[in-house]
Structure 1
C-alpha cells in the first residue's frame, strides 16, 4: 500500500473511474456526465483517486455541507481489493471532512457488502437504518451508516 499515491481526481481519470464504476456497480454506475458535474463542484465536493504507477486502482468522493459530510462513493479495483486501498481512501475522506469542519459523516452501502460494512464499522461508523430496495434494479437494501 505504501506505493499507492492519493491525488485529486481529474477529468483525465474519468475513463479509468468509469470502467471501475461499471465493473463494481453495474446498473448503479455513475455516468460520465454525472462524474464531470461532481468534479466541477469543488466548493462542496472532493474526489480523489488512488494510483500505482499512474494506474487508477481506486477512487472516492465526499460531499461536505457545514457540519455534515456524505461519503459519495468509494470504489477499489477488484484485482487489488483486500490490500488496504479502500481503507486508505476512507481515511482520506475522513480527514478531509474534518478539515472542512464536518462533525458527522453519513454513507449508504449495500446491506450484502459485508467487507465494506466491516471496514466502515472499524472506522467508527454505526448502522442507523436501512433504505429498502435502494439499489435498483436488484431491489437490494442499503444500510445507512453514520460516524460522529
Structure 2
C-alpha cells in the first residue's frame, strides 16, 4: 500500500475525526484540531494518506529546543501497516529541522501499542504524571528521546 504524508489541513479534519473517535476514550474536538492547525504557531500536524483517504495523523509542538508529541493515531484497519512508525519518524525529522534536541510525550500505561512504538524508537520512560487523563484519572507515562545521543560523547 502506498502512503503519502501531507501537512494537516481543514479538508482533512473529517477523516481525522473518524480516526480520533475510534482511537481515544476522550477524543479531541474538531475545533481543537482546527485551532492546532490554524491558530497555534508552535504546532506541526501531518496526515498519512492512502488513496487520498486519511489513514493516520500526528502532531508536534516545538517550544525552544524541545519537541512535544501531542497526538498520534492510525485508523484501526491500517494499524498493521507501519503507518504509526512512519508518522513518528516524520515528527522526529521535523523536530530536528526546527532545532529540537529532545522530544517528549505522554502515553497511557494501558496503551501498550503506543508504548511499544515509542520504545522501539528509543523513547525512554522518565516517570509518571499521576491522574493525568481526566476521563479515567489514569496516570501518564512520560517519555523522552534525545535526538542527538552521540553529540555529548
Q: Do both proteins adopt the same fold according to a TM-score greater than 0.5, normalized to the shorter chain?
A: yes
**Residue matched to 2:100:** 102
Contact 1:66 1:100 in 2 (8 A): no
> For residues 128 and 26 of structure 1, what CA distance do their matches in structure 2 show?
24
Contact 1:4 1:51 in 2 (8 A): yes
The Cα shift of 1:42 comes to 5.8
Q: Does 1:22 align with 2:21?
A: yes
User: Unmatched 5+ residue regions in structure 1?
Assistant: none
Q: Number of paired residues?
A: 146
> For residues 44 and 77 of structure 1, what CA distance do their matches in structure 2 show?
26
The Cα shift of 1:86 comes to 0.2
For residues 62-107 of structure 1, give each alpha carbon's deviation from its aligned partner in whole angstroms, at most 9, with x where no partner exists.
0001211100100000111121000000000000000000001010
Q: State the secondary structure of the residue aligned to 1:140.
A: coil
For residues 14-36 of structure 1, give each alpha carbon's deviation from its aligned partner in whole angstroms, at most 9, with x where no partner exists.
11111111111132x11111111
> For residues 119 and 10 of structure 1, what CA distance do their matches in structure 2 show?
26
**Residue matched to 2:141:** 143
Which structure: greater strand fraction? 1
**Residue matched to 1:5:** 4
> For residues 41 and 9 of structure 2, what CA distance do their matches in structure 1 show?
15
The alignment's TM-score, normalised by the length of structure 2, stands at 0.91
The alignment's TM-score, normalised by the length of structure 1, stands at 0.94
> For residues 68 and 89 of structure 1, what CA distance do their matches in structure 2 show?
18
Of the three residues 105, 109, 112, the one matched with 2:110 is 112
User: Unmatched 5+ residue regions in structure 2?
Assistant: 147-153
**Residue matched to 2:90:** 92
Q: State the secondary structure of the residue aligned to 2:17.
A: helix
Q: State the secondary structure of the residue aligned to 2:131.
A: strand
> Which segments of structure 1 move beyond 3 Å, counting only runs of 4 or more?
none
